[in-house]
Structure 1
């Protein structure tokens, strides 16, 4: 078997984070006739807890560390956890874009456990006071620059992911990517001050949809110059297909349920299935198998959490969607004072959206025109009655009717002046639901026309002094 490199996640300060996974992989690989020796295994130790370190620094250092391995073969495989996933993906992009500056060693298999590919809602909190206090008690810094990358909707993460969506299929060049995600938080690790640690649709740290590379780039913009400036057409681009697997009962971390630290049998089995992929045909077959297994998990989606002497707390593990909206105009200027509203039905009405469809929203702290919406895909699609698994006659949730088509309204707050924007809405022929996928992320660029009036620049033959501080905006420039 090829050399196997393990890469941990953000804020790790000890290689104990890898838990029993390397040893169990070696044992199971031997039992299945896959040669995996200790000499083939390497554990990464990288510093993310220094505020000066950037993702680009880690990429350069990772490349340098690989050169020092003096591998006997021309390729290697990598197993990552959390931030390790996007780190290695950034290295792959740097290797592709700057072939003379980076090692030519080939990565054949990238198996990402709970990867923060689109970031984490927790990153914004890690940059705040509570995160700094925790780091101070641990004797380290928060790792501000890495947290900048990890914040939902960051420029850096969107650059990598939109590049992936529009890029070539890695499997076509013999490079196989896999994303494995735990399907629930570890309830024993719930932080009562921070509800994100118990958020349904996440593994306690990263939202499931944010791990999945089967993503979509959507654009809402004018169809053509001179078209109705109030109507925005929807255009979609889908990412190359990537193997994605839900690991039932696993969480982001922890010795009991951690997808890596606890090394549950389901994780070990899934990783070895990934490493056995040898070509595009076997990769496609594994994608199909994972999809079927995910569908079985989604059908068995009720979790009853024990609450001492009280009735159990009900968690319905519906598929969620992460929608990252970037609001800008045709000149690339961010729209900071603009509202994005969802609407349902015909004609579209915001009051008709399904109850509970939006679980959370968070604006990026550095680019506040980028807003991440965490949506319940099952409620938007419509869902059957959910029964109590211990008593099928008891209804936990009645039938949820989908209310398609879904639309969006964009409402700028500045509607007049020399330069401004006008309210707009999606084309009635489009359904915004088409841009969403279960357990998937969609990056939605909303591009409004920029209304520039004639009064911005005029010529005159009047040589008498003329004050134009309060000029009439005049008509729009065509």
Structure 2
């Protein structure tokens, strides 16, 4: 690990409903370390307008970079919460032009895969608590389209991950063409958002599960950029074609560092001296060695994460999408994971306990799973039940080992995933994308021709 030969300009991006003022403490920390404040740029953007999207903000971010930095300029970024989605959207769309090069990306409680409270912000209470207070056409608006993108399992997050995490171009990692990424998240709850959560429950009579594995606003498992995609395709006739796992191209990213005693707010407003020191070390990181990244992470854990966290429960997110063989979404389905013992099917109960269905496209769902007791399973089966809610259409898969095009129930042994040590189905504090493809079968003779007699009229009934 070596120090950078020069200090890059630093760009700071705040989160949803926030302002650049939240970075004032960090500005002070930079001044104390003799950084030239002229190279520190705090971005302020509008999120409390129902017409604004994250892509709009990313476009504005690109324009601001051109005005403040000029072309062909290296820079570092510190982002909080929703700021990570803004910079990811910017990277996916604009960095291929080669005008700027992001060298270090620091995520403070980043909402990399959304937030479990985002959908609450669209409610009346959400507008009352977080809505725009400036009088005008956007008064009390809560930024519906930004919140939609922030919702767990959103189509925006699904599509963005396919661009910057799963596509052919590597956007993050340890080589010289991609930024070093370091993420941090607290383990304490943020009181204001807990209160909003409780009030929303009372107002809607909905029962939400405890916010385990979060800082009250983002989930630990939803912070990291390390991810992979699993495709389970029941439309394939051969077993070996049904399971596909994408390569993990982001293994050069430092894993998440959890910070005891820190929450979603004070990670910005009152960071500990230890956290400040670790982040300044991260901004100077220049090694391309995976071992150096591992060593940095171990040092950060020893300083910021006490040994008590070593025995804490481990969580993982799965964002699952079900589609048919025409690529159309399947909104009504149920998934079971199970393990077998002496041919006895034993369902993994924790897998379906905490599930959020994305409001605008119910084919997308986010599962938050306590994997502490299941990550060492020796075999794994998946069962899917899907319905079209129609007598004319059903979802199914081809029967295995059949010479005919027989159709079968949707069950698959995916134990092979567990046998590949470099892959792992259960991986703590990460998010895994899963796409399930089913065959759409219409009822026989849905369209029929009628033979008309001489005395019949010439109209056909469809």
TM range (shorter): 0.7 to 0.9
Which residue is equivalent to 1:434?
Answer: 424
Unaligned runs of 5+ in 1: 31-35, 303-315, 382-401, 471-478
Which residue is equivalent to 1:411?
Answer: 385
Which residue is equivalent to 1:165?
Answer: 166
Q: Deviations over 1:424-455 (max 9, x none)?
A: 01226445793231100011111111224552
Which residue is equivalent to 1:278?
Answer: 286
Do the aligned partners of 1:75 and 1:108 also contact (CA within 8 Å) in 2? yes
User: Would the alpha carbon gap of residues 86 and 136 (structure 1) be closer, same or farther in structure 2, given more than 3 Å must change?
Assistant: closer
Q: Deviations over 1:80-122 (max 9, x none)?
A: 111111101111111145x3xxx71222222121111110111
Do the aligned partners of 1:181 and 1:203 also contact (CA within 8 Å) in 2? no
Which residue is equivalent to 2:360?
Answer: 366
User: Would the alpha carbon gap of residues 291 and 335 (structure 1) be closer, same or farther in structure 2, given more than 3 Å must change?
Assistant: farther
Alignment partner of 1:449 out of 439, 443, 446 = 439
Matches within 5 A, 1:177-216: 177-186=180-189, 189=192, 191-192=194-195, 194=197, 199-216=211-228
Do the aligned partners of 1:410 and 1:424 also contact (CA within 8 Å) in 2? yes
Which residue is equivalent to 1:90?
Answer: 89
Work out the CA distance in 2 between the residues paired with 1:67 and 1:56: 17
Q: Deviations over 1:308-336 (max 9, x none)?
A: xxxxxxxx731200011111111112112
Do the aligned partners of 2:119 and 2:147 also contact (CA within 8 Å) in 1? yes
Deviates more, 1:433-442 or 1:206-215: 433-442
Q: Root-mean-square deviation (CA), in Å?
A: 3.3
| Correspondence 1:11 to 2:17 | yes
Matches within 5 A, 1:64-463: 64-71=63-70, 74-96=73-95, 99=97, 104-136=99-131, 138-139=133-134, 140-163=140-163, 164-170=165-171, 171=173, 172-186=175-189, 189=192, 191-192=194-195, 194=197, 199-222=211-234, 224=236, 226-227=237-238, 232-241=242-251, 242-249=253-260, 251-254=262-265, 258-281=266-289, 285-290=292-297, 294=301, 297=305, 300-301=308-309, 317-346=312-341, 351-353=346-348, 356=350, 360-381=354-375, 403-414=377-388, 417-422=391-396, 423-427=409-413, 429-431=415-417, 434-457=424-447
Unaligned runs of 5+ in 2: 1-6, 135-139, 199-207, 397-408
Work out the CA distance in 1 between the residues paired with 2:299 and 2:447: 61
State the 4+ residue runs in structure 1 displaced beyond 4 angstroms: 70-73, 136-140, 187-190, 195-198, 291-299, 347-352, 356-359, 414-418, 457-470
TM-score, normalised via structure 2 length: 0.80
Work out the CA distance in 1 between the residues paired with 2:8 and 2:436: 45
Which residue is equivalent to 2:4?
Answer: none
Do the aligned partners of 1:2 and 1:73 also contact (CA within 8 Å) in 2? no
Which residue is equivalent to 1:389?
Answer: none
Work out the CA distance in 1 between the residues paired with 2:63 and 2:107: 21
| Shift, 1:364, TM fit | 0.4
- Give the aligned length: 419
